[in-house]
Structures are given as structure tokens and as C-alpha cells.
Amino acid sequence: MKLLEEVNLLKEIIKIYSPSEKEKEVSDFLFNFLKNNKLNVEQDKEWNVISKIGSGPPYILLTSHMDTVSGEVPFRIDGKKIYGRGACDAKSSLAALLSSFIRFKNKKFKGTLIFAGVTGEEAPNSRGTIELMKKVKADFIFLGEPGSADGITIGYKGRLLLKILFKGKASHSSSEGDNPILKFIDFSNKVSTLYKGNNLFESLSFSPTSISAKSESNVMPSECRVTIDFRIPPGLSHETVLKEISQLLDGEIELVEGVNGVITSKNNILVKTLVKAIRENGFSPKYKKKTGSSDMNLLVRLTENIVTYGPGNSSLDHTDMECIDTDEYLKSIDILEMAISEIFGIASL
């Protein structure tokens, strides 16, 4: 592919609005794009798109998600910046991985290069990646998420997503009855003291994202329903946190999602290879640890040789100002191509 074609690919992917559970259109686009490039491609029951070049070990997996959070952002171009929902998270990473994959179409190497565009990453439980893990081998994994062309993401916090019901008794607001809202406040105060580390990445954090306790202004509600998103530092299991929370809680818990944190060594071969490629392209590599979670938390079960890389400013994730600089995008493709070539042993940095 020529550079213009790689930029056009990015534009077309961003133009397609694809919130979680509504990825079919972008999935069909990727499927047809790969088919038109005369590559073997499959589309599975979760609308994942999977293509392979080569055969046998080593197996290198390039994967990113095609879904976005909901809320359309008008597609527009301002100079070298492309705006639109998913421009940053994570369609520029998806397009960069796909473009680097296409660059290997006519190269000779020993091994298998796999591209997978997956669904459902922005929804609980990452249905696309769970399905993908059932059907692919991976000795090495490059996961696409925004972190800038010079950034290498080596860690993510885990997640514990809970729905909690606090019960009380409907009564006059002037009474001394059980107020479920106060139970939630008391619970929050207790949880806020748990597992404090030296910084946010090393600490347990939590955010109530939904609270419902409908009642009249002078009536104490009978219940308070809360959705709470806990983020858990690597090394602390979500099962341990759930057990401790349960002991503090005067309420009923529904587990929506639980996944452990992940961190990879700076001596990981993929990290070291990306460092070389980034330097070769004139940048100073930066290591990043993110306080959210990603499919890396799951994919590490396939191999510890895993790293997250992709263009874009992650502070723009899920905002109405999502955009990507095309120069950065193109540079990230060069860096990925160089790193993949090094792993396959078909190029020297």
C-alpha cells in the first residue's frame, strides 16, 4: 500500500460509526478490504475479522478493537488532523496494525503474521477478544491502543465492575429509619482507605458511575442502586478485592466484570524491539502505565510476550475532540513494520 492508501484506509474506518454491539458495518468493511487485497480472511460469530499471512511458528498477532464508545463525533479533517469517534481510541491503532500487516503481503519470512480486528472492547467482558483467544495461537502480541508514536504501554490496571443494591425502608425523611443512600456513603468511605500505593497506578481506585434512589423529596427511599467501577493495580487480584469489599458491604452485589491488572517487563523482547524501532525513527521512547484496562489484560493469558502500541493522544479517548495526526499515524506504521520484521528476522535495525 502507498502512503495515500494507508491514510485513506484510516479515513474510511473512522467514518463508520461503530459503537459496541453495532460493529457489523465496520467489520464488513475490513473483511472486504482484506478480501480485495487477495488475502485469506474470516469473519466469526462475534464479527471479529481475522486474516493470516504465512504458516507455522513463530506466530505474531496484531490486534485492536473496531468498536468505540457511543456518541457520534462529526467526521472532519483540519490540516493533517482527522476528527471523528474512534479516531484516537482505537481506529488509528487498528488501521496502523492493518497497514503494517498488508506491508508483509509479499515479504518472505518464516512464521505466521495474524491480523485481528475485534469487537466489544469498550463493553464489559470484551466478547470479541474472548472469542479470538479460542481460535488463534500467539507467541508474540502487538495490541493496538493509543499511546503516541514514541510511547510503549507496558501496564494496565485491572477492573472490577459491580452493581450494588443497598436496601433500606421507605419512611418519612424526618425519621431515623435505614437510609440506603447513607449506607452507600458509609461504604464509599470505608473502601476509599483500601490498598493505597505510592501513586494512582499502584492504588485501588473506584468511581461510582450510576446511582439510582428514586423517591419523593420527603420520603426516605427503600433502596439505592449503584454501579461502581473499581480499578485494581497489578499484583492484586480482583477476587481478593471482591472478597474484602463483600465483608465491608451491607448490600447485595452483582459482578459485571472482573479482570486482573497486567504489567510486562521493559526487558520483554517486544518492548526492546519497539525501543529500537522508535529510536531508529528519530524519537526517544517513553514507557507508559495506564490506569484503565484493555484487552492486554486478557491476551496475556496467551503469551507474556505482549506489548501495547499505537498512535494518538490517549487523553482524548472517549472525548468529543478525538483526533489523530496523519504524520504520527504513518510513522507508527513504519515503527510497527520495523519491529515485526525484527521479530521475524527479516530485517536488522
CA distance 80 to 78: 6
Tell me if 258 sits within 8 A of 228, measured CB to CB: no
Spatial distance between the Cα atoms of 289 and 188, rounded to a whole number of angstroms: 26
The cell for 283 is: 524519537
- What interhelical angle do 3-15 and 92-102 show, nearest 10? 140
Q: What amino acid occupies position 153?
A: T
Percentages helix, strand, coil for the chain (3-state, rounded to 5) are 30, 30, 40
Which one is catalytic: 67, 317, 328, 334?
A: 67
Active-site entry in 6, 23, 89, 121: 121
275 neighbors 282 (Cβ within 8 angstroms): no
Amino acid identity of 158? G
Sheet with strand 323-325: strands edge to edge: 76-78, 81-83, 323-325
Tell me if residue 67 is catalytic: yes
CA angle at residue 42 from 37 to 43, to 5 degrees? 115
Q: In which order are the strands placed within the sheet that holds 205-212?
A: 205-212, 223-232, 158-167, 252-259
Our answer to whether residue 72 is catalytic in this structure is: no
**3-state SS assignment for residue 290:** strand
Q: Which amino acid is at 269?
A: I
> H helices within the chain, ranges in order?
3-15, 24-36, 92-102, 127-132, 180-191, 238-248, 269-280, 296-299, 326-344
Question: Residue 49 is inside which H or E element, if any?
Answer: strand 49-55
Query: Is 207 buried (19+), middle (13-18) or exposed (0-12) by CB count in 10 A?
Result: exposed
Instruction: Identify the three-state secondary structure at position 77.
Output: strand
Q: Residue 238: which residues within 8 A CB-CB, separation 6 or more?
A: 158, 159, 160, 230, 232, 258, 259, 260
Catalytic (active-site) positions: 67, 121
